[in-house]
Amino acid sequence: MKYFGTDGIRGRVGEPPITVDFILKLGWAAGSVLAERSDDHPSVVIGKDTRISGYLFESALEAGFSAAGVDVRLLGPMPTPAVAHLTRSLGAVAGVVISASHNPYEDNGIKFFSGQGEKLDDDLQAAIEQRLELPLAQVSPHRLGKAVRIDDAIGRYIEYCKATVPYGTRFEGLKIVVDCANGATYRIAPPVFRELGAEVVPIHHSPDGLNINADCGSTYPQDLARTVVAKKADLGVAFDGDGDRVVLVDHTGQLIDGDQILFVLANARQANGGLSGGVVGTVMSNFGLEEAFRGMGVPFERSQVGDRYVHERLRDRGWVLGGEASGHILCLDRATTGCGIVSALQVLEVVARTRQSLAALAAGMKKYPQVMINVPVVGNARDLISDNPVLDKAVHEAEVALNGFGRVILRPSGTEPVVRVTVEGAENELITRLADELAGAVTRAMKG
């Protein structure tokens, strides 16, 4: 597609397509397509994260939807999964999130949810892109959409999150550091954990429009780790700017990433009979996760990178648990999309119920060391590595060297002109050498 990527439309503010005129027309295009497919006067829900450009694009989307005859319900700063949930709860035909997730404030983006709170299907995205090629045609004045602000959106989502753990679950006695990344979770995550009984130490919870994800949150958990140790907390929780990712830190300051979170949840669910099939990771999930699940007898499959693809594979298999090492965790029996708060609550429930530390719960999975090298390429990275005999031979030789205790991945980046060379294995020296050799092979293949 021309505009839609794997996670909506994203880019640098002020540069096409993230400009006010394009976003206004995007609101109109999406609104007119949705109105044509609706039996009555439709409405959409719009939420945003805390970056300063959200004000600009919120107004532009509101105008575009109104011009298409679609009512707008404004949520203000809300986590992406909260928009998905409230889209369903409020009976809207679609939800829209203004966010660039874990990116810095200079970036922004638009992503859509269906009326069921799931990512828009490709057909609807294609229809919106086609409509963007037409001149904007405003409906007659009496059909213009109205806009209202949903004042109790925060309270609604707090109650929803708390309801995703069994009734009566309490976190008394747990001290938790919560890093909100100066993002969309800052008014929701601390109250959720506090109302369930935990002692909460919030950090990076004062957004100013410019500090979202700045040296904090799930992509920079170092400050969280330092604070957990300094405050003698039981664990720490870090979200990204829009709240759909989460990583944890145990009481020693050790990072617990998305792969380890999946292990903890799957292990607990298998023990109480609630696993419901297998688990879906991605091609980048650590080999140690696959090995742990093999030992547990838990089916494990890999999808392409991206929570959208994880979701599709879960739906195809009828499973409920999956995610990525980055902290996108899907518990489809708890939420329709990945929610950092909901995922953290599931882990905390295991901690509280078993009375085991997070470190002890995660200890059953051995993470294999990983080396990744980004190799700059000229031209199409995907074409370079597809059906390339030289690279196929290099990969095979590396796999032989690993002798079944590791993995080799060559993957074109979806956002940069690079090939990502990744090698996992038990020995750091070996995987470093193999990664260097493969990176050299990619460079030679590019030069012909």
User: What amino acid positions are annotated as catalytic residues?
Assistant: 101
What is the amino acid identity at position 444? R
Are the CB atoms for 410 and 395 separated by under 8 Å?
yes
CA dihedral 217, 435, 373, 432 (to 10 degrees): 50
Fill in the amino acid letter for 144: L
Alpha-carbon torsion (158, 164, 166, 171), positive or negative: negative
For the chain, give the number of residues. Answer: 448
Q: 419 near 381, Cβ under 8 Å?
A: yes
Q: Is 322 helix (H, G, I), strand (E, B) or coil?
A: strand
| Of 141, 83, 142, 144, residue with least CA distance to 116 | 83
What does residue 71 show for φ and ψ, rounded to 5 degrees? -75, 150
- Cα–Cα distance measured from residue 207 to residue 316, given in angstroms and rounded to the nearest whole number: 39
Q: In what order do the strands lie in the sheet with 300-303?
A: 300-303, 279-282, 321-323, 329-331
Nearest Cα to Cα of residue 412 among 235, 322, 263, 283? 283
Q: Tokens 């949705």 belong to which residue?
A: 34
Element spanning 349, H or E: helix 340-354
